[in-house]
Amino acid sequence: MKLLVVGGGGREHTIIRYLKKNPEVETIFACPGNGGMAEEAVCTGIGATDIEKIVAFAVENAIDYAVVAPDDPLVLGCVDALNEKGIPCFGPKANAAIIEGSKVFSKNLMKKYGIPTAQYEVFEDMEAALRYLETAPIPTVVKADGLALGKGVIIAMTRDEAKAAVRDMMEGGIFGKSGSRVVIEEFLTGPEVSVLAFTDGKVVKPMVSSMDHKRVGDNDTGLNTGGMGTIAPNPYYTEAIAEECMNTIFLPTINAMNAEGRTFQGCLYYGLMLTPNGPKVIEYNCRFGDPETQVVLPLLESDLLTIMRSCTNGTLAETEVKFADKHACCVILASNGYPQSYKKGFEITMTEEAKAHTFVAGGALKDGKLVTSGGRVTGTTAIAGSLEEAIKEAYRISDGVQFEGAYRRSDIGQRALQALK
Ligand code: AMP
Ligand code: GLY
């Protein structure tokens, strides 16, 4: 089979590595891919949102199956466009990807179908939003409606901060059209859990739970990033909570999307907060998380391609989705200065051991050498029988990845470890 994976980061490198375990797979093309995965996939360089070119390439190369991984091509209708040419895909159509593409849509969906989430109000008029903030409970959370590269959420500790966020989004246009509508919602507290789930639109099969580390600094300090590391499973997510989530959140969401005529097929990512009043949805993503994928797929014992195709064919109920009873930890190495400005082009070297455990997010080939080309550069994953061991191994192995200015957090998994004790 010839496969095409849309995307070019660490998540896509991970997906490609696990798709290749299936002996039916001959070649995987990536759009665009990155230099760090060039030994495992043919990197086309075609941009992930250049849908016309992606479709033309897929037709020309007789692609048998495509996996659309990032949010923006999904929201833009990449799956619809490939399907129109008869190419089956893993990933939701645009009318279902809106569950991530519009926070107003997802909040209204949850309200309509009684799915637990933070209380909220939607505003299209800035003056009305500012008036509401005069009396709203503080802290409060201001969210841009549309995709904003994961930066469209402001946790405001004061009324002035909240008002400034509303002005920036609605008047300053810092997120363009994405900020022309805002959601202002209740501030929730509790441990956060990421649950990625396979769904064919009929049944939901959750993957092992995970925990992201979004802040750049140790002890969750400093700016927000795309994620500096992950562990799986998440110790806060007990079996009882998993069962409650299935009944109050996972299945009701799939059913709600069906009722709206927006059947969701693919990977639905439930961003949950375990509040004192039970699990609530913080956000939905219409795709695999990054770097959650880097700890979840290495624990998958069943065949990834078989599962993905069953989501497309509507046969997920009969398909095995089994995870190892082990622990995983992924440590991200970032460019010095990330998530603000940083330099690129430094050579990346890896020991053989590190290479086997590392997924490249920001790497490019230059004169035959792998060099840094992004903020997050690599993610190194280790698996072990205990979380403690997985963390130790991930750090030890990631010592084998080197480039100038490499930065990593030193405490990935420590909070989870404390929770276990
Ligand atoms: P999102 O982009 O929706 O994932 O939000 C980014 C982060 O903001 C989440 O991972 C949470 O840590 C935090 N967050 C979002 N919504 C809330 C809320 N209602 N209460 C508290 N924290 C929140
Ligand atoms: N790691 C969070 C996300 O992929 O959105």
pLDDT at 97 over 80: yes
- Given a contact cutoff of 8 angstroms between Cβ atoms, the answer to whether 156 and 142 are in contact is yes
Pairing of strands 369-372, 363-366: antiparallel
Beta bridge partners of residue 195, listed in sequence order: 270
pLDDT-based confidence at residue 81 (cuts at 50, 70, 90): very high
Which protein residue has the closest C-alpha to ligand 1 atom 11? Answer: 282
Q: What was the pLDDT predicted at 420?
A: 86
Tell me, in angstroms, the distance from the centre of ligand 1 to residue 418's CA.
22
DSSP 378-390: EEEEEEESSHHHH
Asked if residue 175 has pLDDT above 90, the reply is: no
278 Cα: distance to centroid of ligand 2 (angstroms): 22
Ligand 2 atom nearest the C-alpha of 214 is 1
Q: Which of 171-180, 192-201, 219-228, 340-349 has the lowest mean pLDDT?
A: 171-180
Q: To the nearest whole percent, how much of the chain has pLDDT over 70?
A: 100
Give 281 Cα–ligand 2 centroid separation in angstroms: 14
At the second CATH level, the architecture of 2-94 is: 3-Layer(aba) Sandwich (3.40)
pLDDT at 108 over 90: yes
Residue 33 pLDDT class (50, 70, 90 cuts): very high
Angle at 287 between CA 206 and CA 269, to 5 degrees: 40
Domain ranges of the chain: 2-94, 119-186, 192-318, 327-420
Mean pLDDT of 35-48: 97
Beta bridge partners of 370: 365
Mutation choice for ligand 1 from 121, 273, 275, CB with most ligand atoms inside 8 A: 273
**Quick one: pLDDT band at residue 146, thresholds 50, 70, 90?**
confident
Ligand 2 centre to CA of 60 (Å) is 32
pLDDT-wise least confident of 88-92, 133-137, 259-263, 330-334: 133-137
More confident residue, 5 or 177: 5
How many angstroms does the Cα of residue 290 sit away from the middle of ligand 2?
5
Interval 220-237 mean pLDDT = 95
Decide if 2-94 and 327-420 have a common fold: no
Q: What is the pLDDT of residue 178?
A: 77
Above 80 in pLDDT, residue 149? no
Residue 179 has pLDDT above 80, yes or no: no
Find the range with the poorest average confidence among 34-48, 143-157, 406-420.
Answer: 143-157
Given a cut of 80, is residue 382 above it in pLDDT? Answer: yes
**42 — pLDDT class (breaks 50, 70, 90):** very high
102 alpha carbon to ligand 1 midpoint, in Å? 15
Q: Given ligand 2 and candidates 292, 297, 332, which is best to mutate, with the most ligand atoms within 8 Å of its CB?
A: 292
Mean pLDDT for 214-221 is: 95
Residue from 24, 15, 21, 148 nearest 69 by CA: 15
And the tokens for 193?
């859990």
Q: Name the fold adopted by 119-186.
A: Dna Ligase; domain 1 (3.30.1490)
Rounded Cα distance between 319 and 90, Å, is 15
Of all residues in the chain, the percent with pLDDT exceeding 90 is 94
User: Taking residues 263-289, what's their average pLDDT?
Assistant: 98
Dump pLDDT digits (tens) for 4-22: 999 999 999 999 999 999 9
Instruction: Answer whether residue 281 shows pLDDT above 90.
Output: yes
Ligand 2 neighbours, Cβ below 6 Å, are 150, 212, 227, 285, 289-290, 292
Q: Other C-beta atoms within 10 Å of 339: how many? A: 19
Distance CA 108, CA 83 (A): 28
Which bound ligand lies closest to the C-alpha atom of 212? 2
Per-residue pLDDT at 257:
98
**Please, which pLDDT band fits residue 62 given cuts at 50, 70 and 90?**
very high
Q: How many Å lie between the centroid of ligand 2 and the Cα of residue 289?
A: 4
CATH class of 327-420: alpha beta
pLDDT above 90 for 265? yes
**CB-based burial, 119-155: b 16+ in 10 Å, e otherwise:** ebebbeebeebbeebeebeeebbbbbbbbbebebbbe
Tens of pLDDT, residues 247-264: 999 999 999 999 999 999
Q: Which residues line ligand 1 (CB under 6 A)?
A: 118, 141, 150, 153, 155, 185-188, 192, 271, 282-283
More confident residue, 19 or 172: 19
Taking alpha carbons only, the member of 249, 243, 250, 247 closest to residue 267 is 250
Instruction: Return the CATH superfamily for domain 192-318.
Output: ATP-grasp fold, B domain (3.30.470.20)
> What is the number of the ligand 1 atom nearest to the C-alpha of 186?
19
